[in-house]
Amino acid sequence: MSDAQRARDAEVQSYYEKQVNTYDAFWGVGNIHMGVFEDVSKIPDTRDEAKDEFVRGAERITSMMAHKGGLGNEAVVLDLGCGCGKALLDLAEADYLQEGDGVDLTEGLVERARTAAAEARIPKRIEFHVGGFEEVTNILHARRGTFTHVFSQVSLCYVHDRFREVLQGAAEMLQPEGKLVLCDLVGSEKPPSIVCKLRVLRRLCLEKIALLPKSRYTAAIEGDGRFVVSYQADLTEHLAHAYELLAKVAPYPLAEDYTASAQCCRDGEVGMVLVVAHKIR
C-alpha cells in the first residue's frame, strides 16, 4: 500500500469516527448504509415518516442481499466494511448465517459492533475485527478458505483503486464455489461535475478515488478469472430516493448536500449496484 493510500485510509477512518452520531440521528441507530424501497416515486410528508422509511429500506437491502446471495442458516459470512455490525447481526437474527466475522478500518465502529453483539446475545459466533480490506488474510489467517460468503455494503468503493488486490484476498477467504455478495457505489465514464465533487465525493472522502463506472464493474470483478458474476441489479434510483429521504430528515446545510447527492444520482454521476459472483478458482 502506498503512502497516499494509507493517508486516504486514515482520512476515511477519521470521517466515520466523527460522523457516527450523525448517522445514528438521521439514518437509524447502528446503520451507516443505504437501502431499497417499496416506492421511490414519493417522499413522506413528515420527518419521522421519512426516517422510518429510510430505516426500513436499509434493513430491506440486507434481506435482499441475503436472498439473492443464497445465504442460509449454514452460511459462514465475512462482512467487509461491517461498520457498527448491524447488517451482520441482522443476518444472524434472521437465521441467514451460522457464524460470521466483520472487519472494519474504524476502531470506534468495531467497538460499537462488539458492544451490540454482546447486548444482542445471539447464540452464534459473531466476531468483529479492526483492519483494512487488504489485511483480512492476515487478521483471519486461521479462517482462510472457510467462508461461504463475502458480504459488503457500500464499502468497497473506498478501494476501487486496489480492487483486484482486495478481491484476491476475498477469494482466499472463500471456500471453493463461495460467493461475493456486494452492494457498492459506482461512478460514471465521464469526469464528475463540480457539484458532484463538492457535495458527494468530498463529503464521503471519495474525491481522490476514481469510482469504477457501472459499465465496467462486472468486468472488474471477473477480470483475473477468480469470479464469475451470476446476478446484478442497478439500484441507483433507490440510492437517489434514499438521499431524498435523508434531505427530509437532516438539518441545513446537510440537507442541501443530500438533495444535491440525489440529483447527482439521477444525472448518472453516482450510482449503486448489487452484484453476486461465484468463486471459480
- Number of helical H runs and strand E runs in the chain: 10, 7
pLDDT for res 27:
65
Q: How far apart are CA 58 and CA 32, in angstroms?
A: 9
Look up residue 103 and give its DSSP letter: E
- The domains of the chain, with CATH numbers, are 3-279 (3.40.50.150)
Q: How far apart are CA 218 and CA 161, in angstroms?
A: 15
HEC string for 36-70: CCCCCCCCCCCHHHHHHHHHHHHHHHHHHHHHHHC
Q: Is the dihedral of CA 14, 202, 21, 150 positive or negative?
A: negative
10-residue stretch averages of pLDDT, the chain, 281 residues long = 80 78 63 88 95 94 98 98 95 98 95 96 97 96 98 96 96 98 97 96 93 96 96 98 95 93 98 98 86
pTM greater than 0.75: yes
What backbone phi and psi angles, to 5 degrees, belong to 68? -65, -30
pLDDT for res 6:
83
